[in-house]
Structure 1
């Protein structure tokens, strides 16, 4: 009887705590800007999180009015500005679109450094303190989670057999370090918004473009190119950020709940996107199973050992020195000590 009484008291205590904790969670609908509405991240991760998973975890107290960058017709560089001004409470942001403090944030995904999803995540996690500092001091924001995109490769018109064939090519890039990599290969870098790449390829404004495997398929790059040169140049690890003023108005219980759910979203995101990276390549080339739709017919070219050595040479002689110059000596030393030393790399301006 005593055990039953003790169990009853314990259960009552737990339920009372849970009820009090639930009551401490704010009733709030956040304004959120996400990524592109035709890609996997948006459909399978972002929308379900803000419209179903967060509401369920909070007893329908928290949710998000989420809009894609596509439907809002925003440039990537506008996202953090609108977050800072309070237009949005939360935003999905890509390091390549950060203006203020760009080189510091860029360090989380320097082109040619990460070779696997595991390595990409290790790098962004290790560099998180530096990124948090930039977000807080320059953007009035805080990072609450990370996510990624599929392996970044070259999609080109014509026949590309090796890095040698990239010489003289106009290549669409996503950021400064990708531009340095392309220049190191003898090509010229062109910056074009993701949604404008297909017509640019059609009109000959560019000969090639760099993007993730499944995004390339979803955006129909395989309809305007001929070759997938699958030389990994990065993964575009990205971040979920919250406006600090909006965050500080939330109760501690609400903050704890959002942090917990964002951590779950982070884990789910990395696993889901890693799984679709190979399928994206299969979808654009027709060389394997494609559940996303009818496969394309691009020629799949796997890089040779000499290609990967050429990439590593350009990384060490061009990309890392150029980034070190942009970020400064102290920043470059911190990156080398924190990240580079683990992978046998060093960043130092020439």
Structure 2
């Protein structure tokens, strides 16, 4: 009898604790800005999280009114400004679109550094203290999760057989370090919003563009280019951020739940994106199984050992020195000590 009473008492305590914790979670519907509404991140990860997963985890207390940058017709650089002003409570932010303190944020995805998804995630985790400081002090934001995009490669009009063929080409880039990489190859860097790349390629305004494998397919880059030159450039590691004022006002239980659920979303995001990278190649080239629609017929060109060596040379001689100059000596030294030494890299301005 005592044992039965003991079990019943323990169960009652557990139930009471769970109920108290649930009651401590705020009732809140956040205004959220996500990414592009025709890409996997939006359809498979962002919308389900804010409209289904988070409400389920919070007993219906937390949810998000999420809008895509496509629907809102926002430029990437506008997202953090709107978050800081309080228009949005949460946002998916890409380091390449950060203005103030951009070089510090850019450190997590310097073109040519990360060779694998694991390496990219290790880098962003190692640099997180620096990112948090910049986001809080300059953008009134708090980083709560990370995500990524498929491997970034070159999509070009005409034949591209090696890095030598990029010389003289006008290449659409994302961010300053990609521009430095292209210039190091002898090309000209052109900055264009993602939605304007297809007409620019079609009209010959640019000869090539850099983007992820599946985004290239879903944005129909394969219809206006001829070659996929699969020279890895990076992964565009990105972050989920909250407006600091919104965050600071939340109850401890609400913060704990959001951190837990956004950590789950981060894990799912990295796994999902890595898995679709190869299919993105298959979908644009027709060299494998494509479940997303009719595959394209791009010529797939894999980089040679000489191409990879050339990329590494440009990384060390052009990209890292240019980034170090933008970030400053103290920032560059911290990056070298925190990240560079682990991978045999040094960032020093010339």
Q: If the TM-score is normalised by the length of the shorter chain, which range does it land in?
A: over 0.9
Deviation of the 1:4 alpha carbon: 1.5
Q: Which residue of 1 aligns with 2:112?
A: 112
TM-score by length of 2: 1.00
Residues in 2 aligned to 1:144 and 1:17: alpha-carbon distance in whole angstroms: 26
Residues in 2 aligned to 1:301 and 1:141: alpha-carbon distance in whole angstroms: 41
- Does residue 163 in structure 1 map to residue 171 in structure 2? no
TM-score by length of 1: 1.00
Residues in 2 aligned to 1:217 and 1:92: alpha-carbon distance in whole angstroms: 22
Deviations 1:144-166 (A, max 9, x none): 00000000000000000000000
Q: Which residue of 2 aligns with 1:86?
A: 86
Gap regions ≥5 residues in structure 1: none
Q: Which residue of 1 aligns with 2:186?
A: 186
- Does residue 239 in structure 1 map to residue 272 in structure 2? no
Where 1:70 maps in the other structure, the secondary structure is: helix
Deviation of the 1:250 alpha carbon: 1.0
Aligned residue pairs total 350
Where 2:86 maps in the other structure, the secondary structure is: coil
Q: Which residue of 2 aligns with 1:311?
A: 311
- Does residue 124 in structure 1 map to residue 129 in structure 2? no
Deviations 1:76-134 (A, max 9, x none): 00000000000000000000000000000000000000000000000000000000000
Residues in 2 aligned to 1:284 and 1:3: alpha-carbon distance in whole angstroms: 65
- 1:22-41 alignment runs, 5 A limit: 22-41=22-41
Where 2:281 maps in the other structure, the secondary structure is: helix
Residues in 2 aligned to 1:317 and 1:275: alpha-carbon distance in whole angstroms: 33
Where 1:88 maps in the other structure, the secondary structure is: coil
Residues in 2 aligned to 1:91 and 1:31: alpha-carbon distance in whole angstroms: 9
- Does residue 176 in structure 1 map to residue 181 in structure 2? no
Gap regions ≥5 residues in structure 2: none
Deviation of the 1:248 alpha carbon: 1.3
Residues in 2 aligned to 1:193 and 1:2: alpha-carbon distance in whole angstroms: 70
Greater Cα offset, 57-66 or 243-252: 243-252
Where 2:6 maps in the other structure, the secondary structure is: helix
Where 1:232 maps in the other structure, the secondary structure is: strand
Q: Which residue of 1 aligns with 2:64?
A: 64
Where 2:306 maps in the other structure, the secondary structure is: helix
Deviations 1:297-338 (A, max 9, x none): 000000000000000000000000000000000000000000
